[in-house]
Amino acid sequence: MKIFNLILGILSIIGAIYSIFYPGITFLNIGWIVTVLLGVWGICSIVDYAINCGKKQNSKDEAFMGVLGLVFGIVAAVASVLAIFVPSIRVVLDIIILCIFSGWLIISGINSAVSSFKVRKSGSKSWILTLICGILVLVAGIYGYFNLIFVARTIGFIMGILLMVYGLRLVVSVFEKADR
């Protein structure tokens, strides 16, 4: 599994660098990016389950999520292929992606603001920063519903950051010792 993690981590880092420098093109190709990531993640999860076959406690859950990821990857691939040949499908998919991303920003902003008050109760002074970031993300999500171009540019940049974190985490996991 470490080889899969290393390969997927390196591919994610390369994709992240591309996404950060070309956020507009990343948005246009987001269907393919999601397709590849879901497909590779699904295959890796299934292979990991087959190799470890019950050694891990939550391996069945991971295998189920892997199968689900593979199915969604195939659905995303079909939708992306259809979008190539039918422009109206492409437009609808793009608008759906933008609205889902704006909604995700709104939910994430609310969640961050609520969690800042939980941090405040613990006595930490970092709750103010969490609250400010939550409010900014909430405002960005609301603004995104009214300005889809903003969301299209932002989604590529954020996809790059998320891919970078994911890729680095996978590469670092290769060098961690297994706890057995």
Average pLDDT over residues 69-74: 81
**Percent of the chain whose predicted confidence (pLDDT) is above 90:** 2
- How confident is the model over 126-140, as pLDDT tens digits? 788 888 888 988 998
Q: Which of 138, 140, 137 is nearest to 148 (CA)?
A: 140
Burial 126-138 (b: 16+ CB within 10 A, else e): ebeebbeebeebb
Indicate if the pLDDT at residue 57 is higher than 70: no
30, 77 contact by CB (below 8 A): no
The tokens describing 159, both together, are 């996809």
**CA 177 – CA 88 distance, rounded (Å):** 50
How many Å is the Cα radius of gyration of the chain? 19
Q: Which of 137, 129, 131 is nearest to 105 (CA)?
A: 137
By CB neighbour count within 10 A (0-12 exposed, 13-18 middle, 19+ buried), where does 152 fall? buried
Give me the DSSP letters along 97-161.
Answer: HHHHHHHHHHHHHHHHHHHHHHHHHTT-TTHHHHHHHHHHHHHHHHHHHH-HHHHHHHHHHHHHH
- Choose between 20 and 57: higher pLDDT: 20
Number of Cβ within 10 Å of residue 125's Cβ equals 8
- How confident is the model over 142-161, as pLDDT tens digits? 998 898 888 877 888 887 88
The structure tokens 């994430």 sit at: 108
- Choose between 42 and 107: higher pLDDT: 107
